[in-house]
Amino acid sequence: MHSDVDESTERKPVSFEEAMANRKPGAMSVEQLHLFFLRRKRAALLAGSIFWLLGLIGLTMGLINGSTKTVIQSLLSIATASPLLFALALSAQFRMWQLTTRRLSAAEHGGFNDFKIENPDWLLKTLNPQIGKTSGVRL
């Protein structure tokens, strides 16, 4: 019986230190990666805020003008953009946590469930744009 999965292509879990050691030359440092993910999170939060603002303006105008079409379009724009942009911000927050704790694999307790357990306020942390930070943290 032949398996469709080639054993040589299976990826084994890699520790944080192994992942950092096996990067290509010229790859971003840990500090640069942290700043990259912080900027990605901020961009997602900014885009989400803009969608909410424009959606609420459209919703208000639709209610004032009695336009059901505008109300529905405004609600749909908020309902479709918000989860996507929140997922982008959450992904960036999770990666920043992995960089800060220097844990990546399940063996190191660097998974998403570990992130949620160790950060009961993960929702607030994700929604916080961390405005005071302009450079990468010293890790």
Residue 71 placed within a domain: yes
The number of folded domains in the chain is 1
CA distances from 49 to 44, 46, 97, 105 (A): 9, 5, 23, 33
Return d(Cα 57, Cα 13) in angstroms, integer: 47
pLDDT of residue 133: 64
Q: Which of 25, 42, 26 is nearest to 34 (CA)?
A: 42
Any domain includes 11: no
Domain membership of residue 22 (yes or no) is: no
How does pLDDT run along the chain (139 residues), one tens digit per residue? 555 555 556 677 888 888 888 889 999 999 999 999 999 999 999 999 999 999 999 999 999 999 999 999 999 999 999 999 999 999 999 999 999 999 998 889 999 999 999 999 999 999 999 988 665 555 5
**5 is a domain residue:** no
Residue 47 domain flag: yes
Task: Look at residue 1 and tell me if it is in a domain.
Answer: no
Give pLDDT, residue 5.
54
Question: How would you classify residue 71: left for phi > 0, otherwise alpha for psi between -120 and 50, otherwise beta?
Answer: alpha
- The pLDDT of residue 84: 96
Residue 90 lies in a domain: yes
Comparing CA positions, the residue from 35, 131, 40, 134 lying closest to residue 89 is: 40
Q: Do residues 103 and 10 make contact, with C-beta atoms less than 8 angstroms apart?
A: no
Q: Is residue 18 part of a domain?
A: no
pTM metric for this prediction: 0.81
- Expressed as residue numbers, the domain containing 46 is 29-127
